[in-house]
Amino acid sequence: MNDVKMSSDGESDPASSSDDVQSPVRVRLRNKKISTEDINKRLSLPADIRLPDDYLEKFNLIGPALFEQPISRRLRRVSLSEIGFGKLETYIKLDKLGEGTYATVYKGRSKLTENLVALKEIRLEHEEGAPCTAIREVSLLKDLKHANIVTLHDIIHTQKSLTLVFEYLDKDLKQYLDDCGNTIHVHNVKLFLFQLLRGLSYCHRRKVLHRDLKPQNLLINERGELKLADFGLARAKSIPTKTYSNEVVTLWYRPPDILLGSTDYSTHIDMWGVGCIFYEMATGRPLFPGSTVEEELHFIFKLLGTPTEQSWPGISSNEEFVTCNYPQYRAERLSNHTPRLSSEGVELLSKFLQFEGKKRISADESMNHCYFSNLGNRVRSLPDTTSIFSLPEIQLEKETKKPTATPDPGNTHTPHTGNIPSRRRSLLF
């Protein structure tokens, strides 16, 4: 239980003294008043964190000495803790947002900054040490700094739980779909897809795969910024089928090669899910809502055609495929199913939905697809941490709010979910 220590900056500290070695970088701040920016830089806090004035005062009293010498990791942790980071009492827990694959997520408020936060609480009672999913998520997220990836603000490790503190976003994409009556403005579909690709391209360049892309793991704020969240499975050795609370992990966004037993995990694994999400945003319906692996593949083959040795070399020697003995479906026209998408959109969609991983378009390449040409060129050359909405030509369209009381009649596949509020409901699959 105590063998992994998490500091509030997320670094595990094996209690060695090597991290106290003096850094050659000297910070000269003598005779200069310490600003929030200095503190942020010094302590590696997220750039957007605003500390209250009385904390600044405190730092100007005790701070100068600290700021004159190179800081050690241990000292940094002490000073972070002095500000209030790494402590549960710094956050007020508000409503429960939901229970996901391995954690319970609450809305919260930071007493430090007054900002809303999301508290992802991972219980440690039944585990030996912090669960590896959480450790993986933390170690990955610390290094991912991008406008389309959720920011990790703080980490709190107690005997009973590990809590990750994230920036708060208003809703996930599932709830966004519900709130606009499953009809997202087509221009916003494009903006969301572009941001998804932008975040993913950043991850893939760093050899980080997400592996659990689905609307519930994409968060959207009021400005229309979409951010990738939930990197819990990003480095797992295998993809689980059940959550810790024994709920089934959704198969809807899983590519056919993985469904048929491939363990060749590479960036292509995420691109299939992008296609499914693109379709779902454009039509308001999940593309392949199977409840078993066999049914999932059945849905896929029914739309894209049952694969043959020609369309998918090697498929005829896949045991699982052969034993299921699927009917010989012919590929349907994608455009018949996506009336709201332009022909460029349909063309891009078909490039995501390739049976073979290596044939799928990459995140980077897809951002250059002609479907996005009316967004202009500047969206592709923004600095990583700059939002696309910083460009005046990028504007979110207003959604027409529709009541969500009646389920979409066109969607015969949607499992019955009763009267659970949409955000929580979305966590059930």
Ligand X SMILES: Nc1ncnc2c1ncn2[C@@H]1O[C@H](COP(=O)(O)OP(=O)(O)O)[C@@H](O)[C@H]1O
Catalytic (active-site) positions: 212
103 contributes a contact to ligand X by CB under 6 A: yes
CB 243, min distance to ligand X, A: 7
Considering CB distances under 5 to 8 angstroms, the limit depending on partner class, which of ligand X, Mg ion, none binds residue 184? none
Rg, Å, the chain Cα set: 23
CB 212, min distance to ligand X, A: 8
- Name which of 178 and 296 has its Cβ closer to ligand X: 178
CB 285, min distance to ligand X, A: 19
Considering CB distances under 5 to 8 angstroms, the limit depending on partner class, which of ligand X, Mg ion, none binds residue 97? ligand X
255 contributes a contact to ligand X by CB under 6 A: no
- Name which of 9 and 230 has its Cβ closer to Mg ion: 230
- Name which of 246 and 412 has its Cβ closer to Mg ion: 246
CB 141, min distance to Mg ion, A: 14
Estimate the crossing angle of helix 268-283 against helix 186-205, to 10 degrees.
170
- Name which of 75 and 236 has its Cβ closer to ligand X: 236
Residue type, 63: G
CA distances from 186 to 194, 336, 365 (A): 12, 17, 21
Residue type, 228: L
Other Cβ atoms less than 10 A from the Cβ of 184: the count is 24
Q: Which of residues 299-318 bind ligand X (CB under 6 A)?
A: none
* CA distance linking residue 393 with residue 164, whole number of Å: 35
- Of 120, 223, 219, 229, nearest to 176 by C-alpha is 219
Distance of CA 358 to the CA centre of its chain: 23
Estimate the crossing angle of helix 73-83 against helix 53-68, to 10 degrees.
160
Considering CB distances under 5 to 8 angstroms, the limit depending on partner class, which of ligand X, Mg ion, none binds residue 118? ligand X
CB 217, min distance to Mg ion, A: 5
Q: Which of residues 155-184 bind ligand X (CB under 6 A)?
A: 166-169, 172
- Angle (CA) 282-278-262 rounded to 5° is 145
- The strand ranges marked E within 81-190 are 91-99, 104-110, 116-123, 152-157, 161-167, 171-172
CB 340, min distance to ligand X, A: 25
354 contributes a contact to ligand X by CB under 6 A: no
* CA distance linking residue 102 with residue 17, whole number of Å: 34
Q: Binding segment for ligand X among 97-105, 124-132, 154-162, 334-342 (CB under 6 A)?
A: 97-105
Q: Who contacts 58 (Cβ-Cβ below 8 Å, separation ≥6)?
A: none
97 contributes a contact to ligand X by CB under 6 A: yes
* CA distance linking residue 309 with residue 234, whole number of Å: 31
Provide the binding-site residues for Mg ion, judged by CB under 5 A: 100, 217, 230
CB 408, min distance to ligand X, A: 20
- From residue 214 to residue 253, what is the string marking binding to ligand X with x (rule CB under 6 A)? --xx-x---------xx-x---------------------
* CA distance linking residue 47 with residue 55, whole number of Å: 16
- Name which of 168 and 355 has its Cβ closer to ligand X: 168
Q: Which residue is nearest to Mg ion (CB)?
A: 230
- Of 215, 292, 300, nearest to 256 by C-alpha is 300
Q: Binding segment for ligand X among 29-37, 50-58, 80-88, 93-101 (CB under 6 A)?
A: 93-101
User: 145 labelled as ligand-binding?
Assistant: no
* CA distance linking residue 5 with residue 311, whole number of Å: 51
- Are the C-beta atoms of 33 and 60 separated by less than 8 Å? yes
Considering CB distances under 5 to 8 angstroms, the limit depending on partner class, which of ligand X, Mg ion, none binds residue 124? none
Query: Tokens for 21?
Result: 């070695």
Residue of 100, 255, 275, 286 interacting with ligand X (CB under 6 A): 100
102 contributes a contact to ligand X by CB under 6 A: yes
- Name which of 229 and 258 has its Cβ closer to ligand X: 229
98 contributes a contact to ligand X by CB under 6 A: yes
* CA distance linking residue 144 with residue 323, whole number of Å: 42
118 contributes a contact to ligand X by CB under 6 A: yes
Only one residue has tokens 């198969």, namely 251
User: Binding-site residue total for ligand X (CB under 6 A)?
Assistant: 23
User: According to the 3-state scheme, what is the secondary structure of 288-318?
Assistant: CCCCCHHHHHHHHHHHHCCCCCCCCCCHHHC
- Name which of 116 and 379 has its Cβ closer to ligand X: 116
Specify binding-site residues for ATP.
120
Where does this chain bind ligand X (CB under 6 A)? 97-98, 100-103, 105, 118, 120, 150, 166-169, 172, 216-217, 219, 229-230, 232, 423, 427
Known binding-site residue numbers? 120
